[in-house]
Structures are given as structure tokens and as C-alpha cells.
């Protein structure tokens, strides 16, 4: 339903299943004149929503008549997109923001929760937005592209692994990326520029505040999860964040809440394209 101006300083808007935290009228869908913008559950009116299997949900006839000009950048998704629990497509399954080889020992793992292969072509990207700088500077922190697909075929219930050149684990990565992953950040999986899945992680109260109150809202699902790495060399370990249940049980938990869906594991357990399908 349309958002309305009210007296609260902080607004919490559910763009199901994303939760966008914002403290300005503009960030919450109200323009500078107090006119409510047409934002509804599942996205901006008139937007096309990307599903995790590569298909899209077209807007209704009514929403087409009132198409919003910024639909492609609203960062929302429908209730099923990327929902591993209903086997709808691709999700972020494991992230390591630093490892035993320090801050540039990083990887991102993608899981195909569906029952059919999915081609990770150039329409797919993963971006990351830094949240380590604090509330004062977060508005200027813009997402950077970690990697773009190049035609890799991810089999049903299998994984795709991207890593930096300093990646110290095995198996070997399927492809590499050079941009770093901060220890507090918001990686987002997108198809044709529309968010399909998102993970927000923090390492202390300050970075939690940044992720949840920035005037330019971060794309998160529910509550940010605690990262075992805290932006210091003292946490240069092989720990990682993994979507539950993890390991050979696959990555099928998707309650649309990062703190619920992900767990910290002491030893990373990455899987590449050649790894066996799980579960």
C-alpha cells in the first residue's frame, strides 16, 4: 500500500522479503512534497521482478498504467525469488570476507536450489556495498561489481565459486574477482539489475547501525548476521558465513532473514562447479 508521511523519525519498510531500513522521507518512498510514491509489497508499482530461475514476473495491467520510473533500481524482489526453501533458483550460499591469507583471501559461493540447471550468463552480477565507514559516510558508499556471469552452467543443487587471487582454500575457484569484500557489507545477487538475493553482515554495534539506519538504504533480508571477521588481522582465519543447513546438506534455509538463514562456521567449506550436488 502507498506509504504515508508520519511523525516518526525512523521508518521500516518491508519490500518482501527484503527489509529496507531508512531514516529519510525520500528513502522510504515519500517525495519532498509529502506525496506518497506507489510502493507495494514485492516492489515498486510497475516494476518487473526477477525470479531466481531467470524468469520474470510481469507487472499487473494497473501497475503498467502507473509505471514508476525507477522500478529497475528499487532493490526489491517477490516472495519466491531466490527462496531456496521452495527451490526457486539461485541464492548466495557462502561468503568469506577474509581468510588465513589476510583481507584479500575471499570468496563468494552461489547455490542453485532449483531442480534444473541455470546458466550464469552476463545478465547475472554480484555487487557489494561497504558498511565499515560509519553512518556519517555510508550514503556515499555505492555498490561495486564483484563479478559478472560468463556462461557458467550451475547444475541442480550445485554451486558456483568465485574467489580472489589470494584465495587459500580448495577446491579451486571457477572464476576470480579483484574487488575486495569488506568485513561489514551488503553483497547482492542481481539479474538484469534487479535484486534476487541479498546478504548483510556486521561485526559490531556501529556497523549494525550503519546497515540499518543509513539514509541511502542497504539492501538486506531481515537482520544483518554477525561476521566472524572484524576488520582486523586478528581474525585472519578460515571462518566463513554459510547458509544453513550447510555442507553436504545443501543450503536450503531461506526464512528471508540473514541472521536466521546464515551461520558462522570455523572452517570454510566452499564448493565449485565440479563438486557433487547437495543435498
If one counts the domains in the chain, the total is 1
* Least confident window among 64-78, 95-109, 198-212: 64-78
CB-based contact 41:15 (threshold 8 Å): yes
174-221: pLDDT as tens digits = 999 998 999 999 999 999 999 999 999 999 999 999 999 999 999 999
pLDDT at 20: 53
Is 153 a domain residue? yes
pLDDT at 179: 81
Q: Are strands 194-198 and 185-191 parallel, antiparallel or unpaired?
A: antiparallel
Q: What is the mean pLDDT of residues 111-131?
A: 97
Per-residue pLDDT at 279 exceeds 70: yes
Q: Are strands 159-163 and 175-176 parallel, antiparallel or unpaired?
A: parallel
CB-based contact 271:158 (threshold 8 Å): yes
Q: What is the mean pLDDT of residues 61-71?
A: 35
The segment with the largest mean pLDDT, out of 14-23, 43-52, 79-88, 97-106, is 97-106
Is 206 a domain residue? yes
Q: Which three cell numbers stand for residue 241?
A: 558465513
Full residue range of the structural domain in which residue 242 is found:
84-265
Is 35 a domain residue? no
Nearest to 144 by CA among 130, 131, 127: 127
- Contacts (Cβ under 8 Å, ≥6 apart) of 13: 3, 19, 20, 22, 28, 29, 39
Q: How far is CA 212 from the centre of its chain?
A: 14
CA distance 268 to 115: 25
The 107-112 sheet, strands edge to edge: 175-176, 159-163, 107-112, 90-96, 240-243, 262-265
Backbone angles phi, psi at 199, to 5 degrees: -135, 125
Q: What is the mean pLDDT of residues 60-85?
A: 36
Per-residue pLDDT at 59 exceeds 90: no
Q: Given the C-alpha cell 559490531, which residue does it identify?
A: 204
- Distance in angstroms between the alpha carbons of the first and the last residue of the chain: 39
pTM: 0.73
Is 274 a domain residue? no
pLDDT at 57: 43
β-pair partners for 130: 185
Is 165 a domain residue? yes
pLDDT at 137: 96
Is 20 a domain residue? no
126-156: pLDDT as tens digits = 999 999 999 999 999 999 999 999 999 999 9
Is 184 a domain residue? yes
Which CATH number characterizes residue 220's domain? Answer: 2.60.40.1260
Q: Are strands 124-130 and 185-191 parallel, antiparallel or unpaired?
A: antiparallel
231-265: pLDDT as tens digits = 999 999 999 999 999 999 999 999 999 999 999 99
CA distance 71 to 48: 7
For residue 103, name the pLDDT band (cuts at 50, 70, 90).
confident
Is 68 a domain residue? no
pLDDT at 245: 97
Coil, helix or strand at residue 2:
coil
Q: Given the C-alpha cell 552480477, which residue does it identify?
A: 125
Q: What is the mean pLDDT of residues 98-106?
A: 92
Percent of the chain exceeding pLDDT 70 equals 68
Amino acid at each position: 500500500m502507498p506509504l504515508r508521511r508520519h511523525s516518526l523519525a525512523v521508518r521500516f519498510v518491508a519490500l518482501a522479503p527484503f527489509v529496507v531500513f531508512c531514516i529519510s522521507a525520500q528513502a522510504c518512498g515519500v517525495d519532498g512534497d509529502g506525496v506518497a510514491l506507489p510502493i507495494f509489497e514485492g516492489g515498486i508499482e510497475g516494476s518487473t521482478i526477477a525470479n531466481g530461475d531467470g524468469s520474470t514476473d510481469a507487472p499487473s495491467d494497473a501497475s503498467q498504467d502507473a509505471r514508476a520510473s525507477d522500478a529497475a533500481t528499487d532493490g526489491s524482489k517477490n516472495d519466491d525469488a531466490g527462496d531456496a526453501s521452495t527451490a526457486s533458483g539461485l541464492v548466495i550460499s557462502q561468503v568469506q570476507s577474509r581468510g588465513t591469507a589476510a583481507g584479500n583471501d575471499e570468496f563468494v559461493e552461489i547455490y542453485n536450489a532449483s531442480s534444473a540447471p541455470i546458466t550464469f550468463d552476463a545478465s547475472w552480477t554480484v555487487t557489494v556495498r561497504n558498511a565499515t565507514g560509519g553512518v556519517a559516510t555510508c550514503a556515499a558508499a555505492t555498490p561495486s561489481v564483484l563479478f559478472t556471469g560468463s556462461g557458467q552452467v550451475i547444475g541442480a543443487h550445485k554451486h558456483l565459486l568465485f574467489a580472489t587471487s589470494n584465495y587459500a582454500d580448495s577446491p579451486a575457484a571457477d572464476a576470480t574477482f579483484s574487488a575486495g569484500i569488506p568485513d561489514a557489507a551488503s553483497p547482492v545477487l542481481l539479474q538484469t539489475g534487479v535484486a534476487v538475493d541479498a546478504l548483510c553482515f556486521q561485526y559490531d554495534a556501529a556497523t549494525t547501525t550503519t546497515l540499518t539506519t543509513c539514509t541511502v538504504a542497504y539492501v538486506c533480508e531481515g537482520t544483518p548476521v554477525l561476521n566472524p571477521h572484524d576488520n582486523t588481522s586478528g581474525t585472519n582465519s578460515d571462518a566463513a558465513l554459510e547458509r544453513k543447513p550447510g555442507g553436504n546438506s545443501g543450503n536450503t534455509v531461506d526464512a528471508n532473514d540473514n541472521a536466521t538463514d546464515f551461520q558462522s562456521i570455523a572452517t570454510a567449506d566452499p564448493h565449485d562447479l565440479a563438486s557433487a550436488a547437495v543435498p
